[in-house]
Each structure stands twice: as structure tokens, then as C-alpha cells.
Structure 1
């Protein structure tokens, strides 16, 4: 994506961070991503995240519809690029926050493994510096990793 594109990774990452913390930003992020109709796998991952955030802020009757849309979008993104740690990070951050009774958090261990493997192989993992830092920090704080895995993450030079 071109740096001036609203779908440039740096812009999407910023939108995602803001949307995760603020309902108004969440709606803006959802509106931006609802218009995305291309097949870039990472951008689709952000579209799935926007749909999940919309579910968070939706009425009770609409929540499941948005969660199901997010699930389908994540499936499409992962199918297009199964080794993308950024897509896996987005899905992981959504699935770890879904109520377990929905039965939609089925990829947590798989996604954690892809993220951890990718971060441990940095800089040859394909992650840029921002993606690497975001995922490593998230794994350390929310990834439910072992002390040994945490130590390995701490030892990586970036």
C-alpha cells in the first residue's frame, strides 16, 4: 500500500490502537474498513479487527452478526497468508477477548505459535520493526506465554 493510502500499515495500526480504546474511533475505523474490497491479507486482518470492534460496541442483537463477519474475514485473511504474524496477532487479540460460550476462540494456540515463531525469528521473519515491537509486547503482556518463552523474547535484538 502507498504511504498516503488510508490502508497503509502504519495508518491501520494507529486506527486499530485508537479504535480498541475509544468507541467513536471504533466506529470511524469500522466505516473505513467496511469500504475495503481488495484482497491484501494483512489489510483484511485489520478489516476483521474492525468488525470485531464494531461487535464490541453494537447492540446486543447485532453483536453476534459482527463477530461472525469478523470470523469470516479473519479466515479469508489467514487463508491468503497463513504465516502472517500480524494477521494472527489481530485474530488472537480478538479471540482472547471473546466470551468462551460463543465457541469462536478456536485459533488461540495456533495463532500464539505463529506469532511466537515469527518474533523469535526476527529480523528474518518478514515483520517490520513496528509490527515486531507490537507483537512482542502483546505476547509479553497478554499472550499467556511461559517464563522460558518470555525470556527468549526479552533476549531478541531488534
Structure 2
């Protein structure tokens, strides 16, 4: 890999997508993120996402602990950079997949509205073309937007 810094947004995006699809990649991603000790808000959001993926692959006994850790880390990342669409997307992608009874999905509506507004402002959204496409696809394919919003988003070039 040409990146000397494994914590670039582009590398983290790739690692996260691999980890979301594969248990071994998830373990590798968690190890990478567990070693991160700085305070970059976007990297902290990926660290939270790695913790959530760890919960997916953990025993029932450990799942809740990992999800609670992820929730705390997301809170920290959002506190550091509340207007960052990538952080909000990661939190939405995790929280929208959690069982409601855990009570850890309280930001889904807020993050969904934030992301729709952000996408509708594109290309002034602050997202690069890759991120814009990823977030738009997620919101549309997972039913987080109305049909009218999906049509609006489809008309915006990434």
C-alpha cells in the first residue's frame, strides 16, 4: 500500500467496506483501529465503526459491551466535528442496524435528516464524489429517504 499513514480517510473507507463484508477483515480492521490513540474526529468514527463490527462477530456475552463502546466513541467523534457528514454516515450505518430494544439508536432520525440535507447541497456538501455516491446509495437502498427525496438525490451528479 502506498499510504504511509493507514488512517487516511480513503484507506479507512476501504478497510471499513471490507470489514463489513468479512469477519477476518473485521478483525484486522479492529486491530488497526484499536492502535489509534489520537483525536481526529473522522478516524474516531471509524474506530467506533470497527467496534460495532467487532460486536457483530462477538459472542452474545460481549456484543452489548462492544456496541456501548462504539456508541460512546461515536458521541466523542460527533462532539469533535458535528458537521462532518462522514462521521454522521458511519453512526447512521451502525445505529440503523442495531435492535431497537438496546436503546442505542437514538440518532438515526437526526443523522438521516442531516445527511439528506448535506447530499441535497452537493457539490457544496463537503463530500468527495466517492463519499457522496456511497452515502446516497446507502440512504436510498436502505429506505432512509422518501421516494421524492430519492428522485431529488438521483438528479444530483456525484
- Tell me which interval the TM-score lies in, with the shorter structure as reference length: over 0.9
Match of 1:12 in 2: 12
Q: Give every structure 1 segment of 4 or more consecutive aligned residues whose post-TM-superposition deviation is greater than 2 Å.
A: none
Match of 2:60 in 1: 60
Which aligned pairs between 1:81-120 and structure 2 lie closer than 5 A? 81-120=81-120
Count of residues in Structure 1 that have an aligned counterpart in Structure 2: 157
Q: Secondary structure of 2:7's partner?
A: coil
Q: Secondary structure of 2:72's partner?
A: helix
Match of 1:36 in 2: 36
1:88-146 superposed Cα distances (whole Å, 9 cap, x missing partner): 11111111111111011100000001111111111111111111111011111114210
> Which blocks of at least 5 consecutive residues in structure 1 are unaligned?
none
- What TM-score results when the alignment is normalised by the length of structure 2? 0.96
Q: What is the alpha-carbon distance in structure 1 between the residues aligned to residue 13 and residue 143 of structure 2?
A: 19
Q: Secondary structure of 2:37's partner?
A: coil
Match of 1:155 in 2: 155
> Which blocks of at least 5 consecutive residues in structure 2 are unaligned?
none
The 8 Å contact of residues 112 and 143 in structure 1, kept in 2 or not, is answered as: no
The 8 Å contact of residues 44 and 73 in structure 1, kept in 2 or not, is answered as: yes
Alpha-carbon distance change, 5 to 143 in structure 1, aligned in 2, over 3 angstroms: farther
